[in-house]
Chains A and B, each alone.
Chain A
Amino acid sequence: MSRSARVIVGLLALTLVRTPARGQTPGADTAIRLRTPADSALEARTSAVASQLRCPVCQGLSIQDSPSELAQSMRSLVRDQLAEGKSPDQVKAYFVSKYGEWILLSPPPHGFNLLAYVVPVLIVLGGGALIALAVRRWTAGSEVPS
């Protein structure tokens, strides 16, 4: 065995026999808390609610997608309120009571907001009707009299 190989083997042996320092219990230095399924479920619910709330200091970003400090604070507030047992609708209602309906990325379907839901459908229906009419005219014009 070469000298360098012996040094490596020696170092490996030292790491294997290393005992915990005095006052420490095995694993005590690993303060990182493992994520439980409940944490993951809370995170998923937080993301779902945060994705529906507009970041007040950004342009068209949700608080889930925004890296701003305010969005982070709002996201952690969403998490805290969900952890306290509030429903997603109650959490959204809290933010609406502070910022108005503006805070919701999708406007609720009532009043003037209904236009945002109705107009696209009308445009698609109208466009479809126009295309159908045009196709009917073209096919009628291209018919060869027998």
Chain B
Amino acid sequence: MNWRRAGIAAVLVIPVVFVFSRGMKTDPREIPSPLPGNPAPGFALAVFAPGQPPLERPIGDTVRLADLKGRVVVLNFWASWCLACRDEHQGLSAVARDYTGKPVQFVGSLYQDTPGNGTAWIAEMGGQSYPSVNDPKALTAIDYGLYGVPETFFIAQDGKIARKITGPAPPAVVKHIIDSLLTTASP
């Protein structure tokens, strides 16, 4: 056996195998977000879907992140054309209702869609407990580094982004994150 050739082959093959094995462990579709741990980008967006009592906000009212300091904010980006948004809709709506009276604010943000389509979709889905706002030029979506819907951001009471869920948000996970944020904040 030619040990020299075997050695050269090993030197060439081992780095390639190392790079490929590294690549196999990562999901090429998953984009790492630099936002968790950083202050949440501010927004001031108009309500187009009021939600239901007691969580409702009047249509046309402006939801400002700056006004929500001291509360856990669950910001969910969605669209009527998004199939995965259907999967999480009822769960999110129910979880939002469970936290009525607690320092938690759910906000839906419409992404690349029209308020008309959004309102029709909410009606078709049987309503939404919390208000949804319109982000007409997707500027807030870009500010949050969005690359698809649904995406859900959890903003802690100190105004920093604590967590982000890409894809449909499971109700149990949403509850767990909110509870941990409420516990962290309480003295």
Instruction: Categorize the interface residue count of chain A.
Output: 10 to 19
Beta-carbon nearest neighbor of A68 in chain B: B112
A97 to B41, CA, bound (A): 11
A102-B139 contact, Cβ under 8 Å, with A56-B147, A57-B147, A69-B112: no
Interface residues of B in 115-157 (CB under 8 A from A): 137-139, 141-148
Partner of A100, one of B33, B138, B139: B33
A99 and B137 within 8 A (CB): no
A57 to B82, CA, bound (A): 14
Instruction: Categorize the interface residue count of chain B.
Output: 10 to 19
**Stretch binding the partner chain, chosen from A18-26, A28-36, A70-78:** A70-78
Prevailing SS type, chain B contact patch: loop
A98 at the interface (CB under 8 A from B): yes
A98 and B144 within 8 A (CB): yes
B31 and A99 within 8 A (CB): yes
Chain B interface residues toward A at CB < 8 A:
19, 31-35, 112, 137-139, 141-148
Q: List 12 A-B contacts (CB under 8 A).
A: A56-B31, A57-B148, A70-B138, A73-B138, A73-B139, A77-B137, A98-B143, A99-B31, A99-B34, A99-B145, A99-B147, A100-B33
- Give me the 7 closest cross-chain CB pairs, A-B, nearest first: A56-B147, A98-B145, A73-B138, A100-B34, A99-B145, A69-B112, A102-B31
